[in-house]
């Protein structure tokens, strides 16, 4: 466990208020117990981050905006029941979405061992039964049950993502790739046989525009 002496200050009331503001900006409403679980997750992330550098952000309030609220902006676009979060890191967006979507199952994949250990820790602390943390490289990932959809957040250029995830895309799972910016040449670089739809993930109070690239295998 990260030593308590290195744990950053965590003002739970301020974090809860910031989260509620973000939910209102997104037009989303969550039950009190779900909001509490999100704050619990963020508290664990801030505590572990002091020792293990799971994320570059150190300020808990900034984490609310750029981790929790940003991840939750993907909720209206989710498809299917079994979702693969490619390169989940500290659980973004998959673990955050799993807390709010108990009827879906999230397979959280990352090659970094300390990040996967953190995910398993949060799974125990929060009692989450709808996540499956896996340490693996995406290129070598072998799943017994295929995912219904794929999500990725700021992981890699779109053409590379499509190449890594082609086995699942080719079986009909759409890819929802969250991007800080999406240039035409990145979209144009996607291999032939796949379509890309670009959607906005903007919400009031956002620091910078966000985009969602929805990639599907062409029919036929």
Please tell me the total count of domains within the chain: 1
Between 208 and 65, the more confident residue is 65
Identify whether 45 is part of a domain: yes
How far, in Å, CA of 11 to CA of 26, rounded? Answer: 23
Identify whether 42 is part of a domain: yes
Give pLDDT tens digits for 94-130.
999 999 999 999 999 999 999 999 999 999 999 999 9
| Enclosing domain of residue 53 | 4-68
| Residue 220 binned pLDDT confidence (cut-offs 50, 70, 90) | low
The pLDDT assigned to 3 comes to: 38
Q: What is the pTM of this model?
A: 0.94
What's the Cα-to-Cα distance from 127 to each of 40, 119, 149, 196, rounded to whole Å? 12, 12, 24, 37
Identify whether 85 is part of a domain: no
How far, in Å, CA of 154 to CA of 66, rounded? Answer: 12
Give pLDDT tens digits for 149-207.
999 998 899 999 999 999 999 999 999 999 987 888 999 999 999 999 999 998 888 87
Identify whether 115 is part of a domain: no
């Amino acid at each position: 466990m990260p030593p308590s002496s290195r744990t950053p200050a965590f003002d739970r009331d301020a974090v809860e208020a910031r989260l509620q503001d973000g939910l209102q900006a997104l037009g989303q409403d969550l039950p009190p117990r779900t909001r509490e679980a999100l704050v619990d997750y963020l508290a664990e992330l801030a505590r572990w981050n002091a020792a293990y550098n799971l994320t570059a952000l150190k300020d808990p309030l900034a984490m609310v905006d750029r981790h929790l609220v940003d991840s939750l902006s993907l909720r209206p676009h989710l498809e299917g029941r079994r979702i693969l979060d490619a390169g989940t890191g500290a659980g973004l967006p998959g673990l955050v979405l799993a807390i709010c979507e108990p009827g879906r199952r999230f397979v959280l994949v990352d090659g970094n061992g300390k990040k996967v250990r953190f995910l398993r820790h949060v799974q125990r602390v929060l009692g989450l039964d709808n996540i499956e943390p896996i340490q693996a490289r995406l290129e070598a990932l072998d799943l017994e049950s295929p995912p219904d959809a794929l999500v990725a957040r700021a992981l890699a250029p779109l053409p590379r993502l499509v190449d890594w995830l082609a086995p699942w895309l080719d079986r009909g799972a759409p890819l929802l790739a969250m991007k800080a910016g999406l240039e035409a040449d990145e979209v144009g670089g996607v291999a032939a046989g796949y379509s890309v739809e670009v959607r906005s993930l903007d919400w009031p109070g956002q620091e910078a525009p966000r985009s969602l690239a929805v990639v599907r295998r062409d029919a036929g």
